[in-house]
Amino acid sequence: MDRRTFLEAVAFTPLVLSGCDSKARSAAASAQEVEAMRRDWKALLAPGADVTLSTLPLQRSEAEWQKILSPARFEVLREEGTERAFTSPLDKEKRPGVHACAGCGLPLFTSRMKYDSGTGWPSFITHIPGHLGTKQDYKLVLPRTEYHCIRCGGHQGHVFDDGPPPTHERWCNNGVALRFIPA
């Protein structure tokens, strides 16, 4: 491909309207490794960590949430807001540990599931089984799949199908909706 053809190809590459599009892929795992990270996630949970392991629904009024959460957390968790890309320190967090819901403390992801998607939001190839729920979101032109904490219903982010193999999933999370607990 000569330079001119290349530039034309770049110019006509369609933009993705997801609002959370992937630019880089850095994770590679086997299907067995993914199964192991889902099954053995507690290996990365620090002893005595301040989390809850109950998935029983947690009922709180929006007024109660407003009292408990910071305005930034309330906007994302309770109003399905989206933090600005590259603003969360968790985007670059690489230590071993567990990412729990900032609303209720239910563990949602581990550091082994995390990869650098280049989008500016913490991204994961899979999640802790049974701890997230999904629904369709029609806020943008194209429908997206929203996901939330199964215990408190707090909005976490959107899941896309352009992640790395073998899952090809990209769980694109608001960092402010998570609390990281080093192992």
Whether residue 123 contacts residue 23, with contact meaning beta carbons closer than 8 Å, is answered with no
**Could you confirm whether 172 is annotated as catalytic?**
yes
Least gap, CB of 154 to Zn ion (angstroms): 4
> For Zn ion, which residue of 103, 163, 164, 175 counts as binding (CB under 5 A)?
103
Least gap, CB of 11 to Zn ion (angstroms): 43
Whether residue 98 contacts residue 37, with contact meaning beta carbons closer than 8 Å, is answered with no
Which one, 112 or 148, has the nearer CB to Zn ion? 148
What tokens were used for 81? 């807001």
Which one, 57 or 96, has the nearer CB to Zn ion? 57
What tokens were used for 171? 């769980």
Please choose, from the candidates 139, 111, 121, 106, the residue with its C-alpha nearest in 3D space to the C-alpha of residue 40. 111
Backbone phi, psi, residue 71, to 5°:
-55, -40
Interface of this chain with Zn ion, residues 106 to 125, rule: CB under 5 A: 106
> For Zn ion, which residue of 27, 29, 76, 104 counts as binding (CB under 5 A)?
104
Which one, 29 or 149, has the nearer CB to Zn ion? 149
Interface of this chain with Zn ion, residues 133 to 172, rule: CB under 5 A: 149, 151-152, 154
Whether residue 55 contacts residue 150, with contact meaning beta carbons closer than 8 Å, is answered with yes
| Tokens 């603003």, located at residue | 87
Per CB under 5 A, residues contacting Zn ion are 101, 103-104, 106, 149, 151-152, 154
The catalytic site residues sit at 172
